[in-house]
Every structure is written in structure tokens, then in C-alpha cells.
Chain A
Amino acid sequence: MNCQELRERIVDPSSATQGGHAPVVEHLQACGACRSLARDFAAIERLLRAAPDSEPPSDFDQRVRARMARETATDRLLARLVSRRVLGAAAVVLGLVLAGLLIRKSPAPAPAPSVPVALRTATALAPDLRPPDILAVRSTPIALEKGPLGDEERLRILALKNVEFLSYVETLSRLAPLFPAEIGPAAPGGRAAAPALEGEEAQADRLADWRAASPDERARWMTLESAFAARPFAERQVLEERWRRVRGFTPDEKAGLKRLAARLSEMNEKSLARFESEVRAMTRLGASDRRLRWRSHPFVRTLTGQEIASGEKLLLAP
């Protein structure tokens, strides 16, 4: 038995009964390298056995359903695009091609005397023919631009919260330990500042977002809005205040915070409370000490670079 054969025997427990143990023992007695490796293999097995099965996050089934639903929505969108815009555009292109062909064929006068009378009449009439009516082709339904919004619909849309904020509400809620206490969970109701009035630009953005959204996206927007509106007033104020702190973050930083929030949601209540009190203690330090303490925290050291950087930015925000 050579080294490779021995190693294949020890990684395959089912082969233990094949050929007996004698050759294995004999090889191990003679080969120090294999003896050392066999000890390491056994230690790896012990490490594996010691680690218990992991519990998936509580929202795991929802994630699966969301993936299934997301694809279905994409399929539906694709189908709608194919049925309306693409077919409409294809009709226009086809019309233009046909028109081009007709125009190229039509103005060919044929002065040859040998041509039959009937045919000569036809060619003589050709220059007087009306060009093909392209507008008639174009009048097929092409929904490239939606019609203007009515006043009532416009007001209803402007009353909605920003969809990015609504999608981020759960994250903001989970990130409570990283926000200052005055806008954290212990904030007394009504102490948070009243939300600033939106500028015209923000309103225009809101309307543009609505117009760009598919029916499914609009339905999701409305669902998120309803879920947000169902929260207590004080909590809504706190969440909006938190959003003001993070809305200027880059998309990568926001994604980092989202993942960090997911990691926090995996903690049990006791660990989360301890983490929150430790972060609160950090906020009493100066910026450089705060950064050092954050980066050296045992939980933070298990995070990815983006998660650490995003959390740090939030923690250091004035």
C-alpha cells in the first residue's frame, strides 16, 4: 500500500472493512508523514463533529419565496414588454421598411413605345400616388410614454414615502444599537424633530419613480407604505430621523448596513442588548478611539470589510 492508497482509505470510512487493517497499520508504522497526516485528518474530523448544525435565519422561507416571486415578476414584465412595446416598435419598423420598398419602386417612368398601353398608364400614374401613410402604422398602440397623471393621483403619490426609505425601514429598525440614544428605541414619543418639508426636486423624483415603476413595483410600494403607516407614530418619527442620517450614504454603504442589520438580527436578545450597551459606551469616546474600539470589537471582527466600514461611518457620523 502506498501513501495515496492509505490516504484514500482513511478519508473513506466505508472502505475500512475492505482488505483488513493490517496493511494500513503496517504503512502507518513505516511512514511518519502519513502518521502525522492521519492525526491531522482525525483532528479535522473532530472539529467538524464539534460544530453543531447551523440554524438558518428565521426569514429563510420568505427568502426562498421572494426569489421565486422576483423571477415571476421579471417574467411578467418581460412578457408585457414583448406584447406591447416590442411588438409596437416592430410594427413601426416593419411599416417603415414596407414604405421604403414602395417608394423605391414607384417613380420609374417607362417611355419605351413597345410597352402595352395598360402598363404605360399604370407607370404614368405612379408619381401621383400618395406616399404610404406611416402615421397610420404608428397609430398602433405603443405605450412608450404614459399619459399625464391626474391631480388626485398626483396628490396620492406625493403622500407616499420615498420607496427607498420604505424598503430600508426594516434595516433602520434593526440598526438601533448604532444610532444615538436620542433617536434610538428609547426615544420618547414626539421628541424627534418634525420631518422637513420636501422640496420640489424630491416631489418630482417621487413622481418620476412612480411613473417608472411597473404595476408589481407599485403594488409593493403601496404594501410597504401601509406597513410603515401601521407602525406607532413615535416609531415612524424615529425611523425617519434615522433615515436622514443614512440617506446620503453610497449604495455600497447602504448595502453594507443592510448586511450588518441582517447579522444583528441573527443575535439573541441578550447578546444584542450587550452589543448595544457596548456601542453606546463607544459613542462617549473621541472619533479615533471610537474607531479603534469599533474595529476591535469581537462581533465586528467577524464582519466583512464593507459591513465594518458602513457601521463605522454611521457610528462616527456627527
Chain B
Amino acid sequence: MARPLTGTAPRPDTGDLLLVAAGDAAAERRLLDRWRRPVYTVLERMLDPTPAADAAAAVFEALFRSAARFDPMASFPARLWGLVAKEASRPPAAGVLTIPAARLKESAAAQVAIQRAAVAALPPGDRAAFLLARVAKQPLSVVAEALGTSEGEVRRRLVRAFESLAASLQPLLNPQEEHGASPESEDPDAGRDEAEP
């Protein structure tokens, strides 16, 4: 997405962030156009849509407000995803999600809800590493820089996150064990529209 240009010209995102610091509203819009969807998608995997939109808006607010302090030689993705990680590390609203097993099988909305709850229940560091590496699909080097840690530590966090998710998402991962349905019949997209009334 942020393709390097030739010579010393800054990457588009870095250049736009510098323009934002100079008060350029068009640069602000361009950054929003490029990044609002990926940022929102990541946060929406752990929060309900409305809080996710608020958290994503907080990311852009922080990005724009700190634009004047952004080092043009620094990595824009690391900066952006670092802010996303900060939002993703906040404790989500407390609550226990209970979904009847039969309902889980037939409702796409329930499946989304249980995935969201499972991600939200991860420890903050593991959650941020998982979201950045697996949902935002960032290379481990960027994730490590965004989280201010080493790639080895990111790998360890990812393993822990996957192990926790494997435990908490068992009803989704191996539905045949509990409900007699084969995994192939479990298409998470099927009935997605039916999730809404």
C-alpha cells in the first residue's frame, strides 16, 4: 500500500502525514481513504461495531494530532499500527458471552460474536500481536516495531494467542465433536446477511 518512491521523495503516507502537520485537509482525507478500512477492520475483530468505530477514530485523531512530531525517516506503518495496538490493548468492556451451542451453529452473528469475545479475552500484548500480524497482515518486523519489542517476542505472543484461541473457539473449529456437523459444512460466510434481522 505504501509503495516507496524513487530518490528522496517520501512515501505517500509519510508525505501526507507531513502535509497534515502543515494543516492540509486534503492530505487528511487521503490518509483516511487509504487507512480507515484496514484500521477499522482490525478493531472490529475485538469490539462491537460502534466502539470499534470510536476506537478507530481515536487512532486517526492521535495520528493527526501527533503529525507535527512524526519523524519523516520513521516507518509510517509502524507508527499507525502502533497507535492501533494501543487502542487494541485497552481492556474491552467486561462481560461473559454465553451462546447456546445450537444457536452458534446456525447463526453467523453468533459466530462473529464468539470470535470477537475470544479475541477480546486475549491478554493485551498477545491480542495486539495477533491483530496486527494476522488481521492487518503486517510483517513481523513491522509488528515488532509497532509494539516496541523483538520479532522473537512477537512470535511467542502469536503462539500464545493461537493456543488461547484454539481453546476458546473449539465449538467453531471442531463443530463435529459437539454438534455432529462436519467442518466443511461450516461456512462462516453463509448466512452472514441473515445475522441481521
| Chain A bound to chain B | yes
| Cβ A56 vs Cβ B37 within 8 A | yes
Q: Which of B115-154 contact A (CB under 8 A)?
A: 115, 133-135, 139-140
Hey, which chain B residues are within 8 Å of A4, CB to CB? 156, 159
Inter-chain contact B197/A37, CB cutoff 8 Å: no
**A64-98, CB < 8 A from B:** 64, 67-68, 71
B112 CB contacts on chain A under 8 angstroms = 51, 302
The 8 A CB mask of A33-46 against B (1 = contact, 0 = none) is 00001001101110
Minimum CB–CB distance for B38 against chain A, Å: 7
Does B76 touch A at the CB level, under 8 Å?
no
* CB < 8 Å neighbour of A44 from B53, B56, B165, B194: B165
By a CB distance below 8 angstroms, the chain B residues around A8 are 155-156, 158-159
Specify which chain B residues have a CB less than 8 angstroms from the CB of A64 in the assembled complex: 32, 57, 60-61, 64
Bound-complex Cα distance A44 to B159 (A) = 12
Q: Is A48 an interface position by the 8 A CB rule?
A: yes
SS class of chain B's interface: helix, strand, loop or mixed?
helix
CB distance from B188 to the nearest CB of A (A): 4
Given the interface contacts A263-B50, A301-B110, does A43 sit within 8 Å of B173 by beta carbon?
yes
Total A-B pairs in contact (CB under 8 Å)?
138
Contact of A275 among B38, B53, B197 (CB under 8 A): B197
Contact pick for A47, options B37, B115, B194, CB 8 Å: B115
Contact count band on B: 35 or more
Given contacts A61-B36, A67-B61, contact A11 B54 (CB under 8 A): no
Please tell me if the beta carbons of B188 and A11 are within 8 angstroms of each other in the complex.
no
Q: Which of B36, B135, B193 contacts A56 (CB 8 A)?
A: B36
Binding-face segment, B11-19, B40-48, B77-85: B40-48
Residue contact B32 to A37, C-beta cutoff 8 Å:
no
CB-CB nearest in chain B for A279: B197
Q: Known contacts being A12-B158, A44-B165, is A68 close to B29, with CB within 8 Å?
A: no
Q: Is the CB of B48 within 8 A of A304?
A: yes
Interface residues of B (CB under 8 A from A): 29, 32, 36-38, 40-41, 44-45, 48-50, 52-54, 56-58, 60-61, 64-65, 93, 95, 103, 107, 109-110, 112-113, 115, 133-135, 139-140, 155-156, 158-159, 162-163, 165-166, 169, 172-174, 183, 187-189, 193-197
Q: Could you pull out 9 A-B pairs where Cβ atoms are within 8 angstroms?
A: A8-B158, A11-B159, A43-B172, A54-B41, A56-B40, A56-B53, A64-B60, A68-B61, A68-B65
Which 5 A-B pairs rank lowest in CB-CB distance, beginning with the nearest?
A40-B166, A56-B40, A275-B197, A299-B197, A11-B158
